[in-house]
Structure 1
Amino acid sequence: MIWMLPLTLFIFLIIRKIAFKIKTPLFNPLVISVIVLIPILLVTQTTYTQYLSNVKIINDLLPYSVVALAYPLYELIPQIKARWKSIMIITFTASIASMITGVCIAFWLGGDNEVAASVLPKSVTTAIAVTIASDQGGVPSIAALCVILVGTLGGIFGHQILNVAKIKSASARGLSIGAVSHAVGTARCIEVNFNEGAYSSLSLVLCGIMTSLTAPFLFPIMVFIFNWF
């Protein structure tokens, strides 16, 4: 099944080229590529395990792509130094709020501790989210799915919501999208505005670190509170 890797790359590149011409966030290359690939895999009776093993090189590039997103920060070092206190407060608050909302929704919809732990790190990048969910007793595959869904929704609707809210500051827009939509949202920010992409990259990294540090303490507290009531 050596055709899987070139086919995946071909489909994504073609759809991405179309997306540049259409110029609408609703035509997200990641989402459309998945929609196109799923029927092909079903028709060829290719299992997920088979597919993943043949496109493993793409999956392995994920951590490096996240690191590469730090490059835009170099141009904004002076501004970041001047605002570092505000940035730390904003990203810390966003990190805590993302975890609390995810866990609350999971419990209110009838989920158990395992489901809640899987949803807990929904707003950080996949590599970090899978580890956090696993450490807290969650299911890594569910955590990865939640990350993909949140990132995709943020990439599609994030800028529309910020436009409706009349938030025009590149730093505010970048920090907010990076905090909740990780790499997918950051990639969209870079396409829209370089400064937005830089701040989104910073937010992505800081929220990932803060979520990793606070999740082991926050999640047991939330579980205790919900079980108590």
Structure 2
Amino acid sequence: MSELFSSPFFGISLSIVAFLIGVRIRRRTGLELCNPLLIAIVLVSAVLLVCRIPYEAYDQGGAVINMFLAPATACLAVSIYTRIQLLRENWLPILVGCTVGSLTSMGSIYGLCRLFRLDQTIMVSLLPKSVTTPIAISVSQSLGGIQAITVVAVIITGILGSILAPLLVKVFRISDPVAAGLAIGACSHAVGTSKALELGETEGAMSGLAIGVCGILTVLFSLLIAP
């Protein structure tokens, strides 16, 4: 049995099954709170705890899935290319919006960490929470952050963005699909972009664009914010 758990196929299969269950629950209930990724995290954690399976054994397959994070993010360029004319027409608002989004995200973390006198290591681990995982990990590691904290912060930020994005778009009456997409991508990276794609193709394209632009800006801003 231990050989089964240590096989990469166990981690991969468990992750896929847990996510599919999350997708089915989401479709059945129609509730935004039933986020497939959140449900998958809970189910995988429950299985590991109940069966007393070491995380290292599960991560044999999890590491394989992680390899596809960067290519999956790069695939968002396809939706951006389909809206290239829209990008040319709105390049200045897009640049300003992404800049403000990145500054707000990182500035709020910096301010709160200083306010509550959190350790420097914790602060730099949380700074890149609003960008996609590969970029966030690179920024965190270069600043001396803790990778595990960064990953958790990125996941929580993405899930919250995915859940709250449709509600906030309605509350603030955002009718411009470009503005909605940029806001979602700037604050909740790829997980939020999956929700933006559900709202519309333009929203998804702009959200995917925001991931790349905000990722570059985060790398630059992190050099200025962190000592």
- Provide TM-score, normalisation by structure 2: 0.92
Which residue in 1 is equivalent to 2:195?
Answer: 188
Tell me whether 1:198 sits opposite 2:205 in the alignment: yes
Tell me whether 1:130 sits opposite 2:137 in the alignment: yes
Deviation at 1:177, TM superposition (A): 0.7
Where does structure 1 lack aligned partners over 5 or more consecutive residues?
221-229
Which residue in 1 is equivalent to 2:220?
Answer: 213
Once structures 1 and 2 are overlaid, which stretch shifts more, 11-20 or 167-176? 11-20
Once the two structures are superposed, residues 167-186 of structure 1 have per-residue CA deviations (whole angstroms, 9 ceiling, x without a partner) of: 12111110001001000000
Is the 1:162–1:173 Cα contact (8 Å) retained in structure 2?
A: yes
Equivalent position amino acid for 1:142 in 2: I
Deviation at 1:23, TM superposition (A): 2.5
| Among 154, 157, 170, the residue aligned to 2:161 | 154
Is the 1:41–1:47 Cα contact (8 Å) retained in structure 2?
A: yes
Where does structure 2 lack aligned partners over 5 or more consecutive residues?
none
SS of the equivalent of 1:55 reads helix
Which residue in 1 is equivalent to 2:47?
Answer: 40
Once the two structures are superposed, residues 60-109 of structure 1 have per-residue CA deviations (whole angstroms, 9 ceiling, x without a partner) of: 11111100112111221111101111111111121111111011112222
Equivalent position amino acid for 1:70 in 2: A
Distance 1:74 1:22 in 2: 34
Which residue in 1 is equivalent to 2:63?
Answer: 56
Is the 1:73–1:202 Cα contact (8 Å) retained in structure 2?
A: yes
Distance 2:55 2:42 in 1: 14
Which residue in 2 is equivalent to 1:226?
Answer: none
Equivalent position amino acid for 1:136 in 2: L
Distance 1:80 1:20 in 2: 33
Deviation at 1:189, TM superposition (A): 0.7
Once structures 1 and 2 are overlaid, which stretch shifts more, 100-109 or 79-88? 100-109
Tell me whether 1:96 sits opposite 2:68 in the alignment: no
Equivalent position amino acid for 1:99 in 2: M
Is the 1:171–1:196 Cα contact (8 Å) retained in structure 2?
A: yes
Distance 1:140 1:147 in 2: 11
Give 4+ residue runs of structure 1 displaced > 3 Å after superposition: none
Percent identity, please: 33
Q: Over aligned residue pairs, what C-alpha RMSD do you find?
A: 1.3
Name the count of aligned residue pairs: 220
Which residue in 1 is equivalent to 2:179?
Answer: 172
| Among 70, 73, 86, the residue aligned to 1:66 | 73
| Among 138, 141, 147, the residue aligned to 1:140 | 147
- Provide TM-score, normalisation by structure 1: 0.91
Distance 2:118 2:225 in 1: 18
